[in-house]
Amino acid sequence: MSESKRKPVVGIVPTKPPKPYDDGVNRYALAIRSAGAQPYLLPVTDDVGAYETIFPHMDGFLLTGGKDIDPVRYGDTEDDPSVTDHLPGREELEHLILCYSDEFDVPLMGICRGMQMLNIFYGGSLHLDLATQTKLQANFANHFQTTPFSEPSHHVSLDPQGRLARILQTQDAQVNSMHHQGIFKLAPELKAAAYDDQGLIEAIEHPGKPFTIGVQWHPEFLGTRSSMNLLFERFVDACQEESLHKKEKRANIAIDRVHTGFVWPQVSFIDRQPKIKDLS
């Protein structure tokens, strides 16, 4: 297969290791495959060398839904019984992916928890529980629908100037909802791309990146709806662009990850390609 015909490869973060092949991950993979890319389920490992080998072959990354992120990661030490058990290994994989995506402009999409991780990475924070916290003096209850996830449960308004609105070709959408946390403080580098009717941020995007978008809803369950198909298709288009023209800049990158005792490890990237001296 020629490079121009090669399907881009999207690295998918597993939702709940060590059993990654659950129905949720399969649904993400199906959505990626239907949009024209090849899904690749990423391992969760402490071996950074494994990611040095894998990441250069990825044309994009998908951060999936799942259990809550440790509140310590975004500076919240409040004890809330609604916060589910967190997965440190998964959190550090996502952090490494976000460092890599940010450094090399690799396309990235975050869904539900993945959107929340995106916000945390760039300096934002979360409501620990929408039903019990009232920091914005709004009623954020009932964000985990009891109806089938393939059916929308509430309305969102999209920023008409945002990239997401252009992708979905609408300023209004009906979405599903299966989360109990949400964005409290929006990260400074990010822009809110959609809100629900009570003012809760439902989508974010990085205006300085080729494709870095997060949505609070689960578009993989809404695949029969044309606008949600467009979201995956435009993401895969961005991954195809990465595959064709941009991967060479990160082909020989070493990853240095140091656990310093801070909330997140320090991550840096080293170009192992020897520089050719100018002898002219």
Please give the single-letter amino acid code of residue 109.
Answer: M
Q: Is 220 a catalytic residue?
A: yes
Q: What share of the chain is helix, strand, coil (3-state, %, to 5)?
A: 30, 20, 50
CA angle, corner 124, sides to 72 and 200, nearest 5?
110
How far, in Å, CA of 56 to CA of 235, rounded? 18
The H or E element containing residue 24 is helix 23-34
How far, in Å, CA of 10 to CA of 220, rounded? 15
Catalytic residue among 206, 220, 239, 242: 220
- 3-class secondary-structure state, position 228: helix
Catalytic residue among 112, 154, 206, 242: 112
155: phi then psi, degrees, rounded to nearest 5: -100, 145
Catalytic residue among 95, 218, 239, 242: 218
Q: Is 218 a catalytic residue?
A: yes
Please give the single-letter amino acid code of residue 136.
Answer: L
Q: Is 112 a catalytic residue?
A: yes
Active site residues: 112, 218, 220
